[in-house]
A and B are shown apart, each in its own frame.
Chain A
């Protein structure tokens, strides 16, 4: 049995910023949703179901917030589903939304993901002191820094590969008016001299903490064909999970990520991702994750991801053949629960050809990627300008 065709027909985002003082949580998600509806030239009545995602409820202190957000998202009388798969949730939410249409159960759905980090303290929520355990969890960076160190040891990558990514993604972000960090004049020296937070992660090699929301309208083939803007056809969808810790787990190059990529490529008919894809929006919250994921996702052989980075292959500004994160990525904007969906939506923008100044010229096929937990939950999709 084949999944029904589905496509993204509307995309809406908010401006990403440290604190959105001017809107409530409901106002934030509604802003993204209204933008997506306007992009699709639709109204609330055209939506059959709403699928919402965000990272842990403790980030804002609202328990099961879909209950409170039902009104802001026009859900009265409609089905509404809340997805939570840690940091990958924005991606997973888009996939669950797509499955509403791909299963033939719904014709057109709205999906939204958000985080309003300014309403609480994410670092606290990630490190709630629990009795009995050592209280050493210094946020996500403290967890991922040793894994990055192991990657550097294994691959022999030059010390400045991470610095290069930090600069590259900020230059990309300077082309994207929605990006939180706007650093058009950033230099390698500036990144290198920035404060070392969790060695080897420097301040400018880490993502910011943002408020923001992202929304998409996903429709079936018939409705997508009538859509006013070019649809982004969903050509492959995949999710994989593995445990946080088990003996012999490869934390640097997790099997769940490799398997997930293999699955989504198979569906989209991709045999060589670097050649077959035109660009990728990949969840890179710490700069070193670009070379690591280049290998994990099969864009480079193991141990050689950093070479693509250093050669400028992933850079729009250097005319690279496979731009990664033309939007500026998570290194420029990180409303955690939305970050995955932003990757998926930005991939869709690329193949619709409406990515503005960060458009990859002639993009026809793009990857959206999200990961979460201890790099153990993965969600990916491939979208194309053609049905395939």
Chain B
């Protein structure tokens, strides 16, 4: 007589794969600049919109973005969320703010953290500026900017977000 056994409902089969990740030629140029503490975008030769971080093409036109444009480290909040759960593998403690920000001189938002702010007072159109890590910690990474913090400038009207020149916002 065979003994009754609990059915097998799972096995552990961890998968380890090693990759030599490359960012891409256009992102590499961007990363080389941010290594030096400079935010850059790349302009589409066809529609002239400025992309940050550049990923290799103007996604709208499907053409390579060659021309490099130095951007401001001031930006405008396009939208945001207050996150109450931790990110896997990230030490940031919730609640924290993840925002879509458009740097002055760029036409598209990127995602970054906001801090030194009252979470409940963050709003669309708000002006912010990068808080950089100490220079000796700079690497080929967006993380060179620790976060963005609010600055004392008037809000940008929604219809103007994504159209500011690199010189900034006069209000």
A-B interaction: yes
Residues A132 and B81 in contact, CB atoms below 8 Å apart: no
Is B23 close to A, CB under 8 A? yes
Contact of A247 among B31, B98, B99, B162 (CB under 8 A): B162
Decide yes or no: A199 and B124 within 8 Å by CB, A22-B9, A130-B21, A136-B90 being known contacts.
Answer: no
Residues A138 and B85 in contact, CB atoms below 8 Å apart: yes
Residues A199 and B84 in contact, CB atoms below 8 Å apart: yes
* Alpha-carbon distance between A249 and B83 when the two chains are bound, in angstroms: 24
Decide yes or no: A246 and B87 within 8 Å by CB, A142-B81, A198-B82 being known contacts.
Answer: no
| Chain B contacts with A in 9-45, Cβ cutoff 8 A | 9-10, 13, 15, 21, 23, 27, 31
User: Which residue of chain B has its CB nearest to the CB of A131?
Assistant: B21
User: Which residue of chain B has its CB nearest to the CB of A120?
Assistant: B15
| Chain A contacts with B in 142-177, Cβ cutoff 8 A | 142, 145-147, 149-150, 153
Interface-side segment among B68-76, B108-116, B126-134, B149-157: B108-116
Residues from chain B with Cβ under 8 Å of A198 in the complex: 81-85
Is A245 close to B, CB under 8 A? yes
* Alpha-carbon distance between A329 and B31 when the two chains are bound, in angstroms: 42
Residues A247 and B9 in contact, CB atoms below 8 Å apart: no
Residues A146 and B49 in contact, CB atoms below 8 Å apart: no
Type the 1/0 row for B82-121, where 1 means its CB is closer than 8 Å to any CB of A.
Answer: 1111011110000100111000000110011100000000
Decide yes or no: A138 and B83 within 8 Å by CB, A61-B15, A123-B88, A132-B142 being known contacts.
Answer: yes
Residues B59 and A246 in contact, CB atoms below 8 Å apart: yes
* Alpha-carbon distance between A123 and B90 when the two chains are bound, in angstroms: 13
Residues from chain B with Cβ under 8 Å of A124 in the complex: 88
Residues from chain A with Cβ under 8 Å of B7 in the complex: 22
6 A-B pairs with CB atoms under 8 Å apart are: A21-B10, A130-B21, A133-B141, A134-B113, A145-B81, A249-B60
